[in-house]
Amino acid sequence: MHALLYHSSYRRCLARIACSRCHGSHLSFKRQFSRSAFLNGHSAHNPEPIAPSLKGKSCIITGASRGIGAEIARRFAKEGVECILVGRNEKSLYGIKDELIVGDEMEHRVVVGDVGDMDFWKGMKKEVYQKKVHILVNAAGVTHYSPLFITSPSLLEEVLRTNLMGTMMACRTVGKNMMASRGGCIINVASLLGMKGGKGSAAYAASKAGVIGLTRALAAELGEKNVRVNVIVPGYVETDMTEGMSSDARSEAINAIPLKRFGQPSEIAHAAVFLAANTYANNCVLNLDGGLSAI
């Protein structure tokens, strides 16, 4: 009996010692971890902040005359980025340019042209190589909804030429400049339709799926040159593209979204700033759809 009591007391004593040691190790680990570079927002190999300021950078934004492209331009200008606005509507582009905040040594510019025109990008080479371009945002796009079998070949070609080939040529032209300077960030704007599809959106969905595939391929190709390539995949966003929806279609769409609302262009612009500033962001496919892609 005494032997059993002694053995039991001995085991309890060992357990208390082990617990004490474990608690001490845990506190030591917590102290070391709290002092770590990870929690303080610094890399163990690089003392620089993870998300440096964008002030003083330059950016080309296609599709900057309206919607998401225009809002990204406004937000980047607030961050101190010099913007080159690209689009087909000269009046609208200059209207957006007049809205942009202007800081010291900032000179926002307008370039009028069709991003789907190969000759346009030949001319843009002068603009690109005139000054280092740090960021490229491909937000230009056209949409057309009709069943594939009744859509004319000319409309199919227009959608693919603008949305996919325009993005591809922009990446090719500006990407060369970024590779030469060994640094840069490309942000493409796709669509949830490029991942989910939808009735009557064959051409548009195919073009945006191509943009997502292009992004992934370029992230692998250009990463070693310190050029990062990411894509934002918006769902329904309050732009002129969604303004034309019927009330029934709009209600149906909102009811399908877990957050029960459309996104705001400013929320897409916020994501663009994150991707531009975070120097470890590469090959990000960033869904901004209120949870619609989860259904």
- Annotated active-site residue 204? The verdict is yes
Helices (H), 161-258: 166-180, 193-196, 202-222, 240-243, 247-256
Within a 13 Å sphere around the CA of 274, how many CA atoms are in the beta-carbon half? Answer: 12
The token pair that represents 280 in the structure block: 């470890």
Instruction: Give SS3 for 111.
Output: strand
Given a contact cutoff of 8 angstroms between Cβ atoms, the answer to whether 290 and 268 are in contact is: no
Catalytic residue, chosen from 6, 94, 129, 204, is: 204
Alpha-carbon torsion (189, 259, 263, 272), positive or negative: negative
Report which of 259, 248, 266, 246 is spatially closest to residue 289, judged by C-alpha positions. Answer: 259
User: Under a CB-based contact definition with an 8 Å cutoff, are residues 143 and 202 in contact?
Assistant: no
Indicate which residues carry an active-site annotation.
Answer: 204
